[in-house]
Amino acid sequence: MTRTHIPGILAMAAIVVASNILVQFLIFDGLLTWGAFTYPLAFLVTDVMNRIYGAPAARKVVLAGFVTGVICSLIGSQIMLQGDGYEYAAVPLRIAVASGLAFLVAQMADITVFDRFRAGRWWRAPLISTLIGSALDTAIFFTVAFSAAITRFGANADGAINWAWEGVPFMNAGPVVPLWVSLAFADWLVKLTLALIALVPFKVIVSKATRPGVAI
């Protein structure tokens, strides 16, 4: 790691910490949390680092974010809550595994796809890689964290997340589905929107960082 990587590492760590805090605050009738709007910025950081410094630097930033997430999960696992006859951690093992797995797979996939389209028009690599990474992130996290089909984590873990199995109208308006399906879809829509918006800061940051005479 060189000092040029430090801003990216600090930015990624800040996003991970902020998202872990803001995920506690529900909005839009509980379909989203404020963390849904900060977490996708991780893809912006990864793509900026990849464009300016290359894939190895981007991977170091991702690993720093992963370690930060693990630390946040360890802290949350020490906070115990009560509900539905179960005692469970504020961050149950099931949620921690889902979060870490989704982050690592999605971000590494983002880097791989970005490299595949690196030589194309400036917007192709960040847009395509973020769309694919975001879809993977949402699918992996919500399936591992909330799907009733996964039972490996035991009864205590199920007691901590069985609220997500409640049948409710899809997006509060459609056919009845498990609540977690609506949560996943809403989260994915936010990621799609931010993937498009993030192209603006991506272009600005990369353009400034790669100007002649600017040290990067």
Class of domain 3-209 (CATH, top level): mainly alpha
For 10-25, the pLDDT digits (tens) are 999 999 999 999 998 9
* Distance (Å) of CA 206 to CA 31, 111, 202: 34, 16, 6
Q: What is the pLDDT of residue 85?
A: 58
**98-112 average pLDDT score:** 97
Pairing of strands 176-178, 167-169: antiparallel
Query: What is the C-alpha to C-alpha distance for residues 37 and 27, in angstroms, rounded to an integer?
Result: 11
Q: Retrieve residue 37's tokens.
A: 């709007």
Segment 24-56, tens digit of pLDDT: 899 998 899 999 999 999 999 999 999 999 999
If you average pLDDT over residues 50-71, what whole number do you get? 95
pLDDT of 156: 58
Task: Give the per-residue pLDDT at 2.
Answer: 72
pLDDT at 82 over 90: no
Q: Distance between terminal CA atoms of the chain?
A: 14
The pTM (predicted TM-score) of the whole model is 0.90
Q: Report the distance separating Cα 195 and Cα 12, nearest Å.
A: 16
Mean predicted confidence (pLDDT) in 128-157: 88
State the chain's mean pLDDT as an integer.
89
The pLDDT tens digits for 159-200 are: 677 888 899 999 988 899 999 999 999 999 999 999 999 999
